[in-house]
Amino acid sequence: MPELPEVETVMRGLTPSMEGAVVVKALINRPDLRWPFPENMAERLTGNRVERMRRRSKYILADLSSGETLLIHLGMSGRMLVSGDPLGQFTHDHPKAEKHDHVVLDFDNGARVTFNDPRRFGAMDLLETATADQHKLLSGLGPEPLGNDFNESHLAEALKNRKLPMKSALLDQKIVSGLGNIYVCETLYRGKMHPSRRACDVTAHEVGELVPIIRNVLSEAIQAGGSSLKDFRQADGELGYFQHSFYVYGREGEPCNASDCSGQIERIVQSGRSSFFCPICQR
């Protein structure tokens, strides 16, 4: 499932074509994805200008002139692809319709945005912009890891007295939003922290080191256009390439990249998810 860097990459790719443009036609090709589309979705989108594009955790949010916000979740295989962009960001024309093109938005600037999702685990909803943060999907989210509210004090307070493993703690969206399996594995490796280590045992010094590591991992991944493992594509259809920089994720049995380490990357399963780590570097 796309994590924060992938969603941020897609949002940034959509912004030049969508922000400031008016939806002139909305084609909804099925009644639902992971859950039903909102009532009269096509009519509620048509004729409205996209005032602002933004991201919250793993959700893309498009604030509309109607006072509603279009919430988009990519799910496991969802793609938001732009074609016909008059700004010159993309070179390909509108493609032929494909089987899994579930939502197609045409804009007054000539751009078309197509939501394609073969596995249909993605989702779209319309929220009242003024109260969007109170929506059930957004209200319980912790701070953005690249924002000012995520800092050493917050993380230390969130981890104290918590006996769950650090891998689980960093995946908890109430502690920090947007992190997923890939970037937690990479963060813990750079922080030299075993994924099974109890959160309550992490020292204040280690917490202080972990916050900038999280920021750096995410920033590097965004700069690389995210990680393309199976289905992920950027808004122009191109692959991300941060997967070529993985230290541990998906590298079970391969040698650790640290120059002074003779260890091999191992994999354990925690809460049904694979955790990759170096048993020598991470304690």
Return the active site residues.
Answer: 2-3, 58, 273
The structure tokens 């999280």 sit at 214
In 3D space, the residue among 130, 128, 126, 158 whose CA is nearest the CA of residue 142 turns out to be 158
Q: For residues 16 and 207, what is the distance between their CA atoms, to the nearest angstrom? A: 37
Could you tell me the strand order of the sheet in which 59-64 lies? 50-56, 59-64, 68-73, 123-128
- Using CB atoms within 10 A of its CB, is residue 258 exposed (0-12), middle (13-18) or buried (19+)? middle
Q: For residues 90 and 258, what is the distance between their CA atoms, to the nearest angstrom? A: 39
| Lookup: tokens for 84 | 């016909």
- Using CB atoms within 10 A of its CB, is residue 7 exposed (0-12), middle (13-18) or buried (19+)? buried
Q: For residues 267 and 132, what is the distance between their CA atoms, to the nearest angstrom? A: 39
